[in-house]
Every structure is written in C-alpha cells, then in structure tokens.
Structure 1
Amino acid sequence: MDRISIPEYAMALAHVASLRSEDPYRKVGAAALDFDNRVVGTAYNGLAPGYDAPIGFWDDRDGRQKFMLHAEINLCSLFRRGEVKLVASTTMPCTACMQTLCAYGIREIYYRDVYHASEAPEIAALYGIRLERIAEHPLSGAEV
C-alpha cells in the first residue's frame, strides 16, 4: 500500500486549514509537525481571534491587508522554539514570515503557491533551511 509522504500530508492539512480563512481574496493555511511527524497545529490567515470586522471591511483589499495576521504567524503562536521540524503553507512565506520561521528553528518549509515578492528562497539558502514547493498533494485538485 502506498502512503503519501510526510510533506504531502502536511500540505493537505494546510490546505484544509486554508478553508477556514475569512479573507475573500487570499486563503492561506499552514500546518506544523514535530520531530516525530505528529501534528502540532494548523492555522490560517485572518483577523485576530474574537475580532469581528465592521461592515465593508472586506471590500477594500489593499486597506485591510495591514490588519491581516498571516497563517505562519498564527501557527507559530501554537508552539515554542525548537518544538517543530516542518511547516507546510499553501503559499510561500513572505519575507517577514520566513524570518519568523527561522527564528523558531524550523528546518523544513514546504509551500504550494509561489509568492514572487518574497525573499524566502534567499533566506532559506543563507540559514540552510529546506524550502521546497509541493504543487501536488491529495487535495491539490480541491477548490479553495
């Protein structure tokens, strides 16, 4: 019997987490696994927990961006430095999120969608972090 790889498993979890995002323009999910490949947590981009956006908030895509908490940052709030080996995100981490993942000691980062404005590849190369694209996983054909 063939099983999916651990990175594919993590990416499928990240995909499911992205379905919880309230952002109508960009739904990003992330998943973290520990050194035994156990799920530490999943997260998605959105507003701070418990905050209800006012009417019209989602209409201004550019105006609301500064208030959005990225999936990777929400994910890092679930663990301490050194507890997680692998993070999968539906979108390549932005530069700031990549820096945060480095600070948390993450050694492997997988992503599905390329984010061209990110300097994540350069940061990963400097710190010796595995940064790899996984375009296909068991849920890759599912709608986001």
Structure 2
Amino acid sequence: MSRLSIPEYAMALAHVASMRSEDPYRKVGAAALDADNRVIGTAYNGLAPGFNAPPGFWDDREARQKFMLHAEVNLCSLFRRGEAKLVATTTMPCTACMQTLCANGVREIYYREVYHSSDAPEIARLYGVKLEQVDFSPFETGVVNP
C-alpha cells in the first residue's frame, strides 16, 4: 500500500474519532492538523462531557438532535484561532459548523459524505476556504480493521 496523502491521513483520524460517538444514528468524527501537518486534536459528535443521557433519550432521533454537539464544534474547542490549517470531517460541515470553522481560521476542509442541507460550499467560496470531498475510509481500504 502506498503512503496516505495528508487529507487521507486526516480523514483516517476523523473516521477513528467517529467510533467514539454515542449517537446510534449518526457517527461523525473530525481531525485538525496544524501548518506542519501535526495533529492538534480529534473530536466526535455527542453529548456534553460528563452528561449521562436518561433512559429513552436515544429512541427519538428528532427530539435529541438539538442536544447533540457537532464534531466540528467539539474540535474547535481544542485549538486557538488560526492554529488549525486543515480539518477533515467524516460528513460535510453543516452551515453553522462551516461558519465556526471559518471563524477559527481553518483554510482547508476535507469531508467524505455530502450533507445536502448545508450551505458549506457557498460559505467556503465567499471566504476562500478550500472545501473538498475525499472519498477515503480507512475501514474500506483495509488500513484499519474495526
């Protein structure tokens, strides 16, 4: 197997991070790299740290969505503005997460799955942020065996 590209490397980290999500319906992971391609952090979607969901919480997807913290928001809490050059996320950022990433100075964003309800492409164009789909999963390529 050949060496992973930097976007594939970051995407592999994002996929592994997604495995920590407690959301049974949608597991999203994200990873941030600095200007030297060093890992700043990884994050995933889920509930606030230390919060234990009451019985039945996960049964109603619509009702619980407003309480979920997105992977990108959790990731941005791990670095200072301008510190992350690149972010990879398993799903295209939603509109609010794309705004948050831009506000935090991220210049390159890679994603795997398209999120059709997002204005991320339009926001990326306005701010001159590279937003690119990377069709890579470490699980499908055999890089990682879950």
TM-score by length of 1: 0.96
Q: What is the aligned partner in structure 2 of residue 74 from structure 1?
A: 74
Report the alpha carbon displacement of residue 138 of structure 1 after superposing the two structures with TM: 3.2
Structure 2 unaligned segments of length 5 or more: list them: none
Q: What is the aligned partner in structure 1 of residue 88 from structure 2?
A: 88
1:1-144 map, 5 Å = 2-140=2-140
Separation in 1, partners of 2:122, 2:31: 22
Separation in 1, partners of 2:140, 2:120: 22
Query: Secondary structure at the residue paired with 1:41?
Result: strand
Separation in 1, partners of 2:140, 2:124: 25
- What is the CA deviation profile of residues 55-75 of structure 1, one whole-angstrom value per residue up to 9, with x for unaligned ones? 000001000000000000000
Q: Contact 2:18–2:45 (CA<8 Å) still a contact in 1?
A: yes
Query: Secondary structure at the residue paired with 2:30?
Result: strand
- What is the CA deviation profile of residues 5-27 of structure 1, one whole-angstrom value per residue up to 9, with x for unaligned ones? 00000000000000000000000
| Aligned residue type for 2:20 | R
Q: Contact 1:85–1:106 (CA<8 Å) still a contact in 2?
A: yes
TM-score by length of 2: 0.94
Q: Contact 2:91–2:111 (CA<8 Å) still a contact in 1?
A: yes
Report the alpha carbon displacement of residue 3 of structure 1 after superposing the two structures with TM: 1.1
Query: Secondary structure at the residue paired with 1:89?
Result: strand
Q: Contact 2:15–2:138 (CA<8 Å) still a contact in 1?
A: no
Structure 1 unaligned segments of length 5 or more: list them: none
Separation in 1, partners of 2:28, 2:140: 14
CA RMSD of aligned residues (A): 1.6
Number of aligned residue pairs: give it. 144
Separation in 1, partners of 2:30, 2:145: 16
Report the alpha carbon displacement of residue 143 of structure 1 after superposing the two structures with TM: 8.7
Runs ≥4 in structure 1, deviation > 4 angstroms?
A: 141-144
Residues 84, 42 of structure 1: CA spacing in aligned structure 2 closer, same or farther, 3 A cutoff?
same
Q: Contact 1:9–1:137 (CA<8 Å) still a contact in 2?
A: no
